[in-house]
Structure 1
Amino acid sequence: MRHQRMKALLLAATAALTLTACGGEEAQPQETAGVAVQVESVSAGTISAENTVSGQVSAENSSTILIASAAKCTAVYFQAGDLVKAGDVLCTLELGSSLASYNAARISYNSAVQSYQDQKSILDKQVQLAQDNVTNTQALFEIGAASQLEVDQAEVNYQTAVASRNSTLAQLEAGIQNAKSGLDQLDTALENVDASGNVIAPISGTLATMNAVEGSMISNSAPLAVINGGDQMKVTVSVSEALVPKLAIGDEADVSVSAAGAAFTAVIRSVERTANLQTKLYTVTLAVPAEVSGLLSGMFADVTFHTDVSENAVVVPSEAILTSADTQYVFVVEGDAARYVEITTGLTGNGVTEVLSGLSEGQQLVTVGQAYLSDGDLVRIVSPGNDSESSDAAGEEMPDANTPAPAGEA
């Protein structure tokens, strides 16, 4: 009995020692290595403000054909996308009444011009005769062969002739202007249309738009056709009164046309100095480099102008800057600790920001992991690929700044 009791005590002691050993292993404290961060040395550089506006691509040399008079299309010879030459017949319209009106207006205008010229010749002769009569009567008066009354009457006759000529010619000029106005309206309505109703291509190029359909009426509210001449393209944008003074001919801008998958640098060719009456915006035209291909008229473009250049400025990645209320701040690494630094900023460029105060060249700026830091926190610097010696010791990935910090890392 005593032997069995001793055996049980020995077994209990052995079990206790085993549990103690296991518990001691779990209780060993882990060494804290600090918050994992990535840093970048603060340096000076050049930065410019960026202003992005939307614009539109169009052909450098294009022609829009408008028919202001409603008409029926009787034949179509080309479709959108076809290449045409200047002088080609694009389609034929039934414009009998319009052409008759145009011919009548042309005759009326020519008649008014001829009547003016004929009347002017007759009236000029009458004025000259009246002028000669004044001169002759004055000569007779000087030798006593005519009275002062006759001289005065000759002068009155001359003034009357001049007034009559001017009044008559003014009326004839008004008639010419009326006839020309009517002719100009029909000229606009029938521009690029010959006497047979054929619509003629004014330039060579690609038929970008063709709205004429055989057997249908054409609309006078939209272009009948648009021809893009050649391959040279341009981009046109509208900018505000705040931006236009900062732009000049020859300046470069970054252009992106997503529909064509194209990104290139364009040069400002013209800057209008008068605002559009409706939009109050100013038109800026940029020349597209000849080597850029795949652009079509009507495509939308994003144009980024670089203005307000600041040289030798402290420039940092914009993502490194944190904001709290109206305060902007960053973290820098000094020794093995993070230090909170308030800053003021200036220009903002493509992913970078100018720092006007708070930072100086050479400081180690935290660019990843800053959202998990407080002033004085211990940090360990890791490389972007987690391949540094310190990251090997850490054995974990960098935290994502958009996710909450894991417990124990704040």
Structure 2
Amino acid sequence: MKKPQRSTAIFLLILSALLLVAMATFFYLKTQRQSAKTSPTKPALTVSTAALEQSLLPQRLSANGAIWPWQEAVIGSEAGGLRLTEVRVNVGDQVRKGQILATFAIESVQAEVAQAQASLAEAQANALDAAGNAEKARSLQRSGALSEQQINQFQTAEKTASARMLSARAMLEVQQVKLKQTRLLAPDDGVISARNATLGAVVGAGSELFRMIRGGRLEWRAEVTSSELSRIKTGMSVNLLAANGLPIKGKVRMIAPTVDPQTRLALVYVDLPLQAGAPNDPAAIRAGMFASGEFEMGKTMGLTAAQQSVLVRDGFSYVYTLGEDGHARQLKVQTGRRFGERIEIREGLAPGAVLVTSGAGFLNDGDLVRVVNPPMPPTASTAANPVPTKPQP
């Protein structure tokens, strides 16, 4: 009879222990729930927020192209068979219209001029003698001392001598022009871009000796697709960035009347300022450089956000918004134009949405955050009329 009583006692002890454990577990979980309600989770990060704004953004069209001379003049020799005795300019020199670029040997030309002058003097003397004989013949025409045939001969000799005199004078003028051509002059103001003249060389007529950029003017020839060509107008402003980093302001001068049938691209000619191509400026642009540019096509309104609010991950743009529970929510957006520290939001957000700005790059979707926005700067009216404060006693 002692064994059943002992077993019952052990069973009751075990049951009591299990009840105590169950009660302790229940009270522990209840305490944890109450503490969870009374003490919230610690925020992962402190951030600031800003709302989307309506901003006036510039509308631009990007293009690429090369820089070329506005017009390039070819300067060659007009007189052939003469020797170059002096070359006064080199590549990069600025020249004025009428400035002497090179000179040729003039000895042979001077001799030809002297010969032409002597021929003219002889022709003038013969013309004077023939004119006197013809005048005498005409005075004797009524007397009958000379026949009609003889009188015609004297008059013909007068006209022939006069024609020879004119021919000799024309030959003298030709030689004088040739003498002037021994000095090679600049046809216009500009910059020497190429030189083929070699001292001592005997050049032929029409040989190219120099090339010159007229007026020192350069232009940017932008390549624009045929679909975008209609958006560009003459006189439109253009912002260029040369390969050397020099920013340039240009203006559309003309648009090509045809489109390349192979590339479907058209050329837009943009005038560049004269000082941008100054050869003595080490930061100047040069003909043949590559440049990228943007055509300014006006301004339009758009939704913008602070640039630090937009994150690029895996090739897509994302922003963070805050829910009512204080948790960050990641949203995918489509961005557009950039202007200063603002970036356009084209799709993915509604006007007035509030975005996380500072600290957005350290967040993950669903993180609990604490918002601390910096104080707003005073407005113009507040700054002009500050609120008076009571003096301290």
CA–CA distance in 2 between the matches of 1:275 and 1:67?
37
SS state of the match for residue 367, structure 2? coil
SS state of the match for residue 230, structure 2? helix
**Cα RMSD between the aligned structures?**
4.5
Q: Does the 8 A contact of 1:50 with 1:350 survive in 2? A: no
Per the alignment, residue 360 of structure 2 pairs with 370
Pairing 1:57-96 to 2, within 5 Å after superposition? 58=69, 60=70, 62-65=72-75, 75-91=86-102
Pairing 1:179-258 to 2, within 5 Å after superposition? 199-215=184-200, 224-230=209-215, 233-257=218-242
SS state of the match for residue 209, structure 1? strand
Match of 1:302 among 291, 294, 301: 291
CA–CA distance in 2 between the matches of 1:370 and 1:70?
79
Per the alignment, residue 270 of structure 1 pairs with 254
Residues 229, 334 of structure 1: alpha-carbon distance in 2 compared, 3 angstrom cutoff = same
1:294-321 C-alpha deviation (Å, 9 max, x unpaired): 4454163634224776722212356644
CA–CA distance in 1 between the matches of 2:287 and 2:230?
27
1:29-63 C-alpha deviation (Å, 9 max, x unpaired): xx9442244544311123324414133153x5652
CA–CA distance in 2 between the matches of 1:251 and 1:363?
36
Please tell me the residue identity of whatever aligns with 1:263: P
CA–CA distance in 2 between the matches of 1:37 and 1:213?
73
CA–CA distance in 2 between the matches of 1:223 and 1:382?
75
CA–CA distance in 2 between the matches of 1:214 and 1:371?
69
Please tell me the residue identity of whatever aligns with 1:373: L
Please tell me the residue identity of whatever aligns with 2:212: I
Per the alignment, residue 46 of structure 1 pairs with 56
CA–CA distance in 2 between the matches of 1:197 and 1:280?
49
Pairing 1:3-402 to 2, within 5 Å after superposition? 32-47=42-57, 48-56=59-67, 58=69, 60=70, 62-65=72-75, 75-91=86-102, 199-215=184-200, 224-230=209-215, 233-257=218-242, 259=244, 262-276=246-260, 281-289=265-273, 294=281, 295-298=284-287, 300=289, 302-306=291-295, 311-317=300-306, 320-322=309-311, 328-334=317-323, 336-345=326-335, 347-350=336-339, 353-381=343-371
Deviation for aligned residue 1:254: 0.9
Where do 5+ consecutive residues of structure 1 fail to align?
1-30, 95-192, 390-410
SS state of the match for residue 242, structure 1? coil
Q: How many residues align?
A: 253
Residues 343, 258 of structure 1: alpha-carbon distance in 2 compared, 3 angstrom cutoff = closer
CA–CA distance in 1 between the matches of 2:71 and 2:235?
20
CA–CA distance in 2 between the matches of 1:236 and 1:273?
14
SS state of the match for residue 245, structure 1? helix
Residues 92, 274 of structure 1: alpha-carbon distance in 2 compared, 3 angstrom cutoff = farther
CA–CA distance in 1 between the matches of 2:198 and 2:62?
43
1:129-181 C-alpha deviation (Å, 9 max, x unpaired): xxxxxxxxxxxxxxxxxxxxxxxxxxxxxxxxxxxxxxxxxxxxxxxxxxxxx
CA–CA distance in 2 between the matches of 1:217 and 1:371?
74
